[in-house]
Amino acid sequence: MQLRATNHMQYQDGMEKISSDIMDKVINGRKEYDYSIYTKKDVLNTLAKEFISVEDFKILLSPAAESFLNDMAHKAKLETMKHFGNSVCMFTPLYIANYCENYCVYCGFNCSNKINRAKLSYDEIEKEMKTISETGLREILILTGEAKKASSVEYIGEAVKIAKKYFSTIGLEIYPLNTDEYAFLQKCGADFVSVYQETYNTDKYEELHLRGPKRIYPYRINAQERAILGGMRGVAFGSLLGLDDFRKDAFAAGLHAYLIQQKYPHAEISFSFPRLRPFINIKEKRPNDVHETQLLQVMLAYRLFMPFAGITISTRERAGFRDNVIGMCATKISAGVSVGVGGHSEKEKGDEQFEISDPRSVKEVFDSITEKGLQPVFTDYVRV
Amino acid sequence: MKFNGKEILLEKDVILSEFLKTMGYDASVIAVEINYEIIPKAEYDKTLIHNSDTMEVVNFVGGG
Amino acid sequence: MNTDKLIIGKKEFNSRFILGSGKFSLEMTKTVIENAEIEMATLALRRANNAGSENILNYIPKGITLLPNTSGARNAQEAVRIARLAREIGCGDFVKVEVIHDSKYLLPDNYETAKATEMLAKENFIVMPYMYPDLNAARDMVNAGAAAIMPLGAPIGSNKGLLTKDFIKILIDEISLPIIVDAGIGRPSQACEAMEMGCSAVMANTAVATAKNVALMARAFKLAIEAGRSAYLAGLGRVLDYKAEASSPLTDFLQD
């Protein structure tokens, strides 16, 4: 039997369609972005500016800017200080399930991979959260695989309600929802939603997302807007750097956030920068490879473009990198991380999505932040 | 009637365009409001004004 | 050929100097418009009490876009009434909304201005609200249907220049409509600075009208506004303020 591929640009039944021109603007913006035209002079002029425009952001993400990383870092550090002072937020993610109905060719959770699937019971969730809260953390990010049947909105809502007992800030990294579902989870106690578009290149997106609701590009890209319409306080953006042309994808995610911020000035914006690591043993340099240099360039460009936005640095990166980017451009760091299902109070139940490079405990990360003269913050915000 | 904030006596009803001519106005550079309703220029010949009306005639002056 | 046009509503302008026509003799209005190559000038509406007196429209060359203002309005309703009357005279759909109910400082009321903007935009006026440069209020104006935003640089008639500079910069950065500094500009150098910052046009009146040689000052403003615009388009060169400690390495930790 031959499967007819689902049109990835077409909404499916049950997927709410909102009226918004943001997707078209982002796709066009990405298409038109030609980073090869910028010169050293453009970079220096941009670095001297007080406000960084969309055009300047393009310049900062270009190869021409790569040789000005140190200058960018100095300017970024000043901006970070201006907007966040010495504070660095600490949080931890908790995977409550890893069932997934999508087939994304690059992902460890994808539905065709024979991994151990699991879902925590409410008691297990409570136990995990209690253990996490005993480390002092007050912010949690609840994650599931993307499977609405296995991990329903009601199930996630219950998890949020449990989290409310132990945490003051609750974020969600789950499959995209309709506005009313976001509103429900907001009422349960969640305030922040992260959805990563992975790649903003529609053709590449189609190639990489073979099956499952995630294949539907427009439903995913409009998730942040629906989350805000549902009453969420903040939304996070990102692309999986290295899947496609990382400069274009970094630009698209930034433009996406910028347009959301213009339309909803009250929304809190944040970014996260997962990357595919280049293969170590390949000698020739490939232009899509995202080494630490390129990752830092992207992070610095975001800081300068949106000085007020939160930037999270993942445990996918090594401790030495993470410790250096906090205070310079990153404002939020995870600690005591387990990326399997559960794993905080007892042995994890399900397999991991990816490997982490910074296994340090909450205490260790806390100490290393303090050592840098920065201030670790557990509660950045109180829900009223 | 009340004309540009001042009381004046209108002995009988008159056509607006004639009233304006008598007062010396160039109809092309003014706007007229009767009882807080703007009268389009095309209506000047058809509009009758009464002693009970409140009327404003305005024109442009220099101003920032 | 000049391809750098100012576009308000759907109309294109070559000149970025909007003249306020108050405080001039009628003859001088004409001289100033010619000397400064003005394409848009404001006018006010008043009761026509001296029927036979000379009309300012006779001194404004044909082809100049007239921008009636709603000066004298103390709330949105009055502004709308004035705008409708102005349009009835037959000089187009442009209107500068100005609502002031503070007779001491003459500061615009942003809330009433937004309301008037909304009502007038619905009646297909091309609305240019004069406002205190507040970002949230400016967003209200955009949502209300404004065609341009006219933030004040300093109290009206004060000639103090760009006292609100930092806030106007924020508007330039955040608002996609033309930003036109109105009120407070006292010298050509200040008009030039506004244009360098990225303002789309400058409106001036008192600074020109109170100069010793009015015609020459009008010319000076025109040139300053053009210079500032060119500088903006050219992209200002670097002024290094962050550089002081940039020699110390911050990126040594990278491992590729």
Mean pLDDT of B26-43: 92
Residue C2 reports pLDDT greater than 90: no
Q: What is the DSSP letter of C212?
A: S
Contacts of C62 (CB under 8 A, 6+ apart): none
Q: Give the position of tokens 């050509």.
A: C188
Confidence of residue C255 (pLDDT cuts 50, 70, 90): confident
What is the total residue count of chain A?
Answer: 384
**CB within 8 Å: A324 and C253:** yes
Q: Tell me, yes or no, whether C222 lies in a domain.
A: yes
Q: What is the DSSP letter of C31?
A: H
* A297, A69 contact by CB (below 8 A): yes
**CB within 8 Å: C238 and A48:** yes
Token pair in block for residue A336: 């005591």
Residue C79 reports pLDDT greater than 60: yes
CA distance A191 to A189: 7
Contacts of C104 (CB under 8 A, 6+ apart): none
Nearest chain C residue to A323, by CA: C253
Q: Tell me, yes or no, whether B6 lies in a domain.
A: yes
Residues in chain C within 8 Å Cβ distance of A51: 169, 173
CA distance A8 to A6: 6
Beta partners for residue C12, in sequence order: C7
- What residues does each domain of chain A span? 25-277+285-377
Closest among A309, A202, A325, A199 to A257, alpha carbons compared: A309
Closest among C150, C127, C124, C120 to C138, alpha carbons compared: C150
**CB within 8 Å: B29 and C156:** no
Please state, as a whole number, how many other Cβ atoms lie within 10 Å of the Cβ of residue B35. 13
Q: How many domains does chain B have?
A: 1
A123 in contact with C at a CB cutoff of 8 Å? Answer: no
User: What pLDDT sits at residue C51?
Assistant: 67
Domain CATH for B20: 3.10.20.30
Rg (CA), chain A: 20
pLDDT tens by residue, C139-189: 999 999 999 999 999 988 778 899 999 999 999 999 999 999 998 899 999
**pLDDT averaged over consecutive 10-residue blocks of chain A (384 residues)?**
75 93 97 96 91 95 96 94 91 92 81 82 94 93 91 96 95 96 97 96 92 92 97 96 95 97 94 83 72 96 96 93 94 89 79 81 92 87 72
Mean pLDDT of C34-43: 94
Confidence of residue C215 (pLDDT cuts 50, 70, 90): very high
Which DSSP string corresponds to A277-339? PPPTT--S--TT---HHHHHHHHHHHHHH-TTSEEEE-TTS-HHHHHHHBTTTB-EEE-S---
CA distance B63 to C56: 10
**CB within 8 Å: A291 and C256:** yes
Mean pLDDT of C119-139: 97
Chains with 3+ CB–CB pairs under 8 A to C are A, B
Domain CATH for C70: 3.20.20.70
Closest among C198, C194, C222, C197 to C208, alpha carbons compared: C222
Strands C94-97 and A103-104, bridge-based pairing: unpaired
CA distance B62 to C20: 8
User: What pLDDT sits at residue C184?
Assistant: 87
Residue C55 reports pLDDT greater than 90: no
Chain C contact residues (CB < 8 Å to B): 20-24, 26, 29, 42-49, 51-52, 55-57, 66, 68-69, 71, 81, 84-86, 88-91, 156, 182-183, 203, 205-206
Cβ burial of C179 (10 Å; 0-12, 13-18, 19+) is buried
Domain hosting residue C186, numbered range: 6-245
Mean pLDDT of B23-28: 88
* A345, A127 contact by CB (below 8 A): yes
Please report, for residues A314, A333, A360, the alpha-carbon distance to residue A368 in angstroms, rounded to integers and kept in the order given: 16, 12, 10
pLDDT tens by residue, A291-315: 999 999 999 999 999 999 999 999 9
Domain hosting residue B20, numbered range: 2-59
pLDDT tens by residue, A157-192: 999 999 999 999 999 999 999 999 999 999 999 999
Q: C-alpha B56: how far from its chain's center? A: 6
Start-to-end CA span in chain B (Å): 32
Please state, as a whole number, how many other Cβ atoms lie within 10 Å of the Cβ of residue C104. 5
User: What pLDDT sits at residue A110?
Assistant: 74
Q: How many domains does chain C have?
A: 1
Q: What is the DSSP letter of A113?
A: S
Minimal C-alpha gap between C108 and chain B (Å): 14
**CB within 8 Å: C85 and B33:** yes
| Residues of C (79-98) whose Cβ lies below 8 Å from A | none
- Is A25-277+285-377 a CATH 3.20.20.70 domain? yes
Token pair in block for residue C211: 């100069």
User: What pLDDT sits at residue A76?
Assistant: 95
CA distance A56 to A261: 17
Torsion of CA B24, B30, B36, B41, to 10 degrees: 100
CA distance A58 to A36: 10
Q: Tell me, yes or no, whether B27 lies in a domain.
A: yes
* A50, C214 contact by CB (below 8 A): no
pLDDT tens by residue, A243-264: 999 999 999 999 999 999 999 9
Closest among A236, A175, A246, A252 to A14, alpha carbons compared: A175
**CB within 8 Å: C242 and A74:** yes
Examine chains B and C and say if they touch (3+ CB pairs below 8 A).
yes
Taking the CA atoms of A182, A183, A184 and A187 in sequence, report the sign of the dihedral they define: positive
Confidence of residue C24 (pLDDT cuts 50, 70, 90): confident
The three-class DSSP label of residue C94 is strand
Minimal C-alpha gap between C241 and chain A (Å): 7
Please state, as a whole number, how many other Cβ atoms lie within 10 Å of the Cβ of residue A12. 11
CA distance A360 to A39: 41
